[in-house]
Amino acid sequence: MIHDTTHAYLAGLESRLAADGCAPRQDNWGGAPVLVGRRADFRLRWMATRLHLFTIAAAVPHIDFQTIATFTNQSLQYARKNKGGLPVGLQTGVAVLPVLVSERVDPAALAWAREKQRNEFACIARPVVVDSARGEIAFFRGHPMIGGIYSSHLVKKGDAYLEWRA
């Protein structure tokens, strides 16, 4: 069962995505509703690349390590397939904030989300676990070697989109 605090968090996330020009929309992944927001930014300091940032969020009854890992992989594949434009790696990259929200969260899932970003060729994922019962949000805010030029942008966007606002 999905509780009111989870729905309220997702509604707030959708509003923050819309305010930042991410054109959020509802999608259906195997019968489950998923919120998808997307924007693309170009910076010369990123070696003249365009970064397509997807924020993909869903409510689930329980989050454990396997749930967030699977959702992260699905989100990476979705973003790679739906980014459009030049192929990834040709002056274009993909970043994903895969967000799972629940009132029942295993501590191992929170730790996994904070640990590091997950990388594929020209694709970055920074998994996000939201414990709506405690108002706790876990995602990687570090500066890795691979994809490090995008770190400050991803942290800034993550902090703006994911913030808990009661």
Q: 133-138: list long-range contacts, CB under 8 Å, 24+ apart.
A: 133/3, 133/5, 133/103, 133/104, 133/105, 134/105, 135/164, 135/166, 136/105, 136/110, 137/162, 137/163, 137/164, 138/109, 138/110, 138/111, 138/113, 138/114
| pTM (predicted TM-score) | 0.91
pLDDT at 96 exceeding the cut of 80: yes
pLDDT band at 143 (very low <50, low <70, confident <90, very high): confident
**What pLDDT is recorded for position 166?**
46
Tokens of 58: 């869903």
The pLDDT tens digits for 100-121 are 999 999 999 999 999 988 877 7
Average pLDDT over residues 13-26: 96
> pLDDT: is 124 or 47 the higher one?
124
Question: In the chain, what percentage of residues exceed pLDDT 70?
Answer: 86
Please name the residues in contact with 149: beta carbons below 8 A apart, sequence gap of 6 or more.
45, 46, 47
pLDDT at 54 exceeding the cut of 70: yes
The pLDDT tens digits for 40-50 are 886 766 667 77
